[in-house]
Amino acid sequence: MMEGHDTVPQQEPRPLAAQAPGEVGQAPAMHAARRQWLAHLGTLGAFGALAALGWRGARAQAATPQVVQVIAKRFAYEPSDIVVRAGVPIVLEVKSLDFAHGMSFPDLNLRADLVPGKPVRITLPAQPAGMVDFLCDNFCGDDHETMHGRLLVQA
């Protein structure tokens, strides 16, 4: 119980608003540009590029996100325990089979609306090792309350 504890209501979670159908978190144009840049990096040779940009900048630019496919349906995510690596940005490609489920990460203050039949890309910043809870936050029917999961972030 949280009796006597003053809380300030959090602001509404930042929506990962789709810039284009099926794309959440990054505009398609930026993706294409990033792919081209990585191709150039390969041809120059990794060391030369790193020296030119500086170590930190190169690492951030070169971090390829890990991509995980997820299914959402009444009333579960599959997988519900999503294993990811720490320190690497995450892209979840989430396809809902049946409903405009939500996928909310309260600890990250991020959420997205899913679209039945169409994959939605959810981009999450790199996470430290640990667990991050997520849940469906669009009421979807009888077992909505059991529709949740965890990112298992492994070092």
Partner 1 sequence: MERRDFLALAAAGGGAVFASALAGCASAAASGSYGAAGAAYKDFYFVQLSDTHWGYSGPANPDAAVTLKKAVASVNALPEPPDFIVFTGDLTHTTDDPVERRRRMAEFKTIAADLKVKTVRFMPGEHDASLDFGAAYKEHFGDTHYSFDHKGVHFIAIDNVSDPGARIGDEQLAWLQADLARLDKAAPIVVLTHRPLFDLAPKWDWATRDGAKAMALLMPYQNVTVFYGHIHQEHHQVTGHIAHHSAKSLIFALPAPNSQPNRTPLAWDAGQPYKGLGFRQVELEPPYKDAPKVAEFPVVRA
Binding-site ranges for partner 1 (CB under 8 A)? 1-13, 100, 102, 104, 106-107, 113, 133, 135-142, 144-146, 148
The answer to whether 75 touches 141, Cβ cutoff 8 Å, is yes
d(CA 80, CA 44): 41
Cβ 60 to partner 1 shortest distance, Å: 30
Cβ 82 to partner 1 shortest distance, Å: 15
3-class secondary structure, 82: strand
Of 79, 59, 80, which Cα lies nearest the Cα of 126? Answer: 59
Q: Which two tokens stand for residue 146?
A: 């059991």
Cβ 56 to partner 1 shortest distance, Å: 34
Cβ 15 to partner 1 shortest distance, Å: 10
Would you say 16 or 50 has its CB closer to partner 1? 16
Q: What is the CA radius of gyration of the chain?
A: 18
In sequence order, what are the residues at sequence separation of 6 or more whose Cβ sits closer than 8 angstroms to the Cβ of residue 106?
13, 133, 135
Would you say 37 or 139 has its CB closer to partner 1? 139
Would you say 19 or 146 has its CB closer to partner 1? 146
Would you say 65 or 137 has its CB closer to partner 1? 137
